[in-house]
C-alpha cells in the first residue's frame, strides 16, 4: 500500500478527489483527511506518507508553507498541489519537479499525475533543490486584490468588560475549550472564536501557529530553541513564560 494525506478545505472537492483516487490508484491508502494546513502538517509528520495532495489556499498554513516544511518533517513525501486556475502558479509548476491538479479535478489529468508521482516515488526522495526553488517562486506571487485584508483589531471579554484589542498588542492566542484566550501585556481576555477560525483571519506574515493550541505574534518572539527530540521552546520578549513548539511547526522557524 501507498500512504497518502489529502488536505483540502472544501468538503465537496475533497470527497470528489478521494473517490477519483480510489478509482485510478487502488493501492493508495488515505491515512488522513485535513481541512487546514496545520492539520495537514501534523498528519504528515505523524504518518510520514508517500504522497500528499495539498490545496494551495487553506486556512492558516497554506499548502506552500506545508510543503516548505517537509524537508525536515517528512523528506520522502512527494507533493501534488491542488489549485484553482492560476496561471502564475501553473507556469511555475510546468518548470518544476512537482505536479499539480486544477479544480475541479479531471480524471485524465489525475491519471497522468498519478503515473508521474509513481515514477518519482520509484526514483526515491523528491528533488529538494527544485522544490525549494519552486516554493520560493510561489511565495513571491503578487497579492490577490480580491482577498480580504487581515484583522487589525478584535473585541474580547475580561470579566464583565469588553475590550477592543489591537492585533499588534497581542502576544499570543491560546485555545481554551470552544474559545480562545488572548494574551497581551495588559493581561488575558476571552475571545468567542475558536482558534482555527481565528487563524484564517490573521495576517500570516505576523501570526504563526506553533502548536495545535497556540498562535504567536512573531513580533513578540525573542528566540526559539530546539531540544534533542525535535520539539522547541519559544521565549517571548520581556516575558518570563515560554511556549512549547511541537515538532511539525519547528520546520517553520528555519532561518531564525
pLDDT-derived band at 64, boundaries 50, 70, 90: confident
pLDDT-derived band at 159, boundaries 50, 70, 90: confident
Of 71, 72, 35, 73, the closest CA to residue 54 belongs to 35
Angle between the N-to-C axes of helices 128-139 and 63-73, in degrees from 0 to 180, rounded to the nearest 10: 150
pLDDT, averaged across the chain: 86
Q: Are 120 and 129 in contact (CB under 8 A)?
A: no
3-state secondary structure the chain: CEEEEEECCCHHHHHHHHHHHHHHCCCEEEEEEECCHHHHHHHHHHHCCCEEEEECCCCCCCHHHHHHHHHHHCCCCEEEEEECCCHHHHHHHHCCCCEEEECCCCHHHHHHHHHHHHHHHHHCCCCHHHHHHHHHHHHCCCCCCCCCCCCCEEEEEECCEEEEEEHHHEEEEEEECCEEEEEECCEEEEECCCHHHHHHHCCCCCEEEEECCEEEEHHHEEEEEECCCCCEEEEECCCCCEEEECHHHHHHHCCC
* Peptide bond before residue 104 is cis, with ω within 30 degrees of 0: yes
Q: Cα–Cα distances in Å, from 32 out to 5, 64, 217?
A: 5, 18, 29
pLDDT of residue 145: 46
Q: Are 101 and 83 in contact (CB under 8 A)?
A: yes
Listed range (11-20, 35-44, 94-103) with the worst mean pLDDT: 94-103
Q: Are 49 and 5 in contact (CB under 8 A)?
A: yes
Q: Are 240 and 255 in contact (CB under 8 A)?
A: no
**Could you report the per-residue pLDDT of 52-61, keeping only the tens digit for each?**
999 988 877 8
Q: What pTM was estimated for this model as a whole?
A: 0.74
**Could you report the per-residue pLDDT of 95-141, keeping only the tens digit for each?**
555 788 888 888 998 999 999 899 888 887 776 777 777 777 776 66
Of 29, 38, 1, the closest CA to residue 202 belongs to 38
The yes-or-no verdict on residue 146 having pLDDT over 60 is no
Residue 122: phi, psi to the nearest 5?
Answer: -65, -25
The yes-or-no verdict on residue 84 having pLDDT over 70 is yes
Amino acid at each position: 500500500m501507498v500512504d497518502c494525506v489529502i488536505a483540502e478545505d472544501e468538503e465537496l472537492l475533497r470527497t470528489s478527489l478521494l473517490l477519483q483516487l480510489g478509482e485510478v490508484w487502488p493501492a493508495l491508502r488515505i491515512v488522513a483527511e485535513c481541512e487546514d494546513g496545520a492539520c495537514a502538517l501534523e498528519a504528515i509528520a505523524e504518518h510520514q506518507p508517500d504522497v500528499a495532495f495539498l490545496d494551495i489556499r487553506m486556512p492558516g498554513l497554506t499548502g506552500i508553507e506545508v510543503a516548505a516544511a517537509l524537508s525536515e518533517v517528512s523528506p520522502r513525501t512527494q507533493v501534488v498541489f491542488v489549485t484553482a486556475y492560476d496561471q502564475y502558479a501553473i507556469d511555475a509548476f510546468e518548470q518544476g519537479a512537482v505536479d499539480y491538479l486544477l479544480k475541479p479535478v479531471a480524471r485524465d489529468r489525475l491519471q497522468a499525475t498519478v503515473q508521474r508521482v509513481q515514477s518519482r516515488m520509484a526514483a526515491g526522495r523528491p528533488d529538494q533543490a527544485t522544490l525549494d526553488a519552486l516554493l520560493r517562486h510561489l511565495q513571491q506571487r503578487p497579492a490577490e486584490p480580491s482577498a480580504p485584508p487581515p484583522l487589525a483589531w478584535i473585541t474580547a471579554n475580561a470579566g464583565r468588560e469588553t475590550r477592543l484589542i489591537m492585533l499588534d498588542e497581542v502576544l499570543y492566542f491560546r485555545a481554551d475549550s470552544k474559545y480562545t484566550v488572548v494574551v497581551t501585556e495588559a493581561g488575558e481576555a476571552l475571545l468567542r472564536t475558536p482558534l482555527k477560525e481565528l487563524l484564517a483571519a490573521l495576517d500570516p506574515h505576523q501570526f504563526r501557529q506553533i502548536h495545535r493550541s497556540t498562535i504567536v505574534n512573531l513580533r513578540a518572539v525573542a528566540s526559539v530553541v530546539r531540544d534533542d527530540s525535535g520539539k522547541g521552546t519559544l521565549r517571548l520578549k520581556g516575558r518570563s513564560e515560554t511556549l512549547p513548539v511541537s515538532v511539525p511547526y519547528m520546520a517553520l522557524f528555519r532561518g531564525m
